[in-house]
Structure 1
Amino acid sequence: MPYKAAIFDLDGTLLNTITDLTWATNYALKHYHMPTYTVEDVKHMVGNGVAKLIRDAVPANTSEELYQKVLATFKEHYADHSLDTTAPYPGVTEAVDQLRAAGVKCAVVSNKPDFAIADLMNHFFPNKFDFALGQRDNLKRKPDAEPVLFALKQIGVSPNDAVYIGDSEVDIATARNSGMPCISVTWGFRDKEVLLAAGATACADTADEMTALILGHEV
């Protein structure tokens, strides 16, 4: 029998958001005359939310006041440009349709700010997910289990009947902390070697492989 629910990470798992994230990061940094980064650099900096991304991006001696200004500039720019180049990875939209047709509930839990989640979900996955959650002030962020368990409660599924899907070591830790198996996708922001080193036990190289693991309950 398939899992009753699949909980997905967003960035690097369902959507390739890295170019828009890099542009927003560099826009904010340039605005305050700070060094910028390549897309490849930012790939290794994302996964723990935008506050941590900008904290890591600004120079080490940046004051708290200036850091907050850079973060605010990033959020303002990203809110207006999150759809510029972002797109679903090949096959993921069809995979979600197949899962839903098989009776699997689907949800998103992301460390991306909650304000950015609605636009992306409505644009790319209208009416395809049972619940979507971004980072909120009243909930801890991944890899803490709290947002995943909150999402599961909203869709009425126990962690024992769900699987978590993500593309990073943060996601592997999130699944472990939530008492859930994890499928690690290899098309996102981390190399397969990084995922295996972080403890990945089931890897999917394509959306079809991911779907087969979820429906086959083989993780």
Structure 2
Amino acid sequence: QAMDILGISEHVEVLVAMEDTERHKPDPTPLLLALDRMGRSANGAVYVGDAVVDVLAGKAAGMDTVAVTWGAGLPEPLEAVRPSAVVTTAGELRFALLG
């Protein structure tokens, strides 16, 4: 539903639930499974999350990462793990993903 509000649903090809893998973030297994299901590599893929474990998993999978500061995320801890971008609004997220 949040993806519909942001207008990005059409850009999301697959979702992976916690039940789909035995290993969980910050392990990259769930992200690698998503890439595999799409038949894609990490090159050019972007993982968006609101927690440090999200950024760590994305980086471990070889993906660009965008950290959002709403939800669980606070700017300082997210910036400390060096995502590709940190965004504070839905508009910034849209720009980070779509340009």
Structure 1 length-normalised TM: 0.41
In structure 2, how many angstroms separate the alpha carbons of the residues matched to 1:208 and 1:146? 29
**Cα shift at 1:155:** 1.8
* Structure 2 SS opposite 1:164: strand
Q: Name segments (4+ residues, structure 1) moved above 6 Å.
A: none
* Structure 2 SS opposite 1:136: helix
In structure 1, how many angstroms separate the alpha carbons of the residues matched to 2:78 and 2:32? 23
Equivalence for 2:34: 151
Please give the residue correspondences for 1:1-219 in structure 2 after superposition, counting only pairs within 5 Å: 88=2, 92-95=3-6, 97-98=7-8, 100=10, 104=11, 106=12, 130-136=13-19, 138-216=21-99
* Structure 2 SS opposite 1:131: coil
Alignment length, in residue pairs? Answer: 99
In structure 1, how many angstroms separate the alpha carbons of the residues matched to 2:64 and 2:16? 20
* Structure 2 SS opposite 1:139: coil
**Cα shift at 1:157:** 2.1
Specify which structure has the bigger relative contact order, considering alpha-carbon pairs within 8 angstroms and separated by 6 or more residues. Answer: 1
Q: Work out whether residues 133 and 151 of structure 1, in 8 Å CA contact, stay in contact via their aligned partners in 2.
A: yes
Q: Deviations 1:117-156 (Å, cap 9, x if unpaired)?
A: xxxxxxxxxxxxx322222375311111111111111122
Structure 2 length-normalised TM: 0.84
Q: Work out whether residues 142 and 170 of structure 1, in 8 Å CA contact, stay in contact via their aligned partners in 2.
A: yes
Q: Work out whether residues 186 and 192 of structure 1, in 8 Å CA contact, stay in contact via their aligned partners in 2.
A: yes
Unaligned runs of 5+ in 1: 1-13, 15-87, 107-129
In structure 1, how many angstroms separate the alpha carbons of the residues matched to 2:70 and 2:54? 14
Q: Which moved more, 1:185-194 or 1:134-143?
A: 134-143
Q: Bigger radius of gyration, 1 or 2?
A: 1
* Structure 2 SS opposite 1:159: coil
Q: Which moved more, 1:139-148 or 1:166-175?
A: 139-148
Unaligned runs of 5+ in 2: none
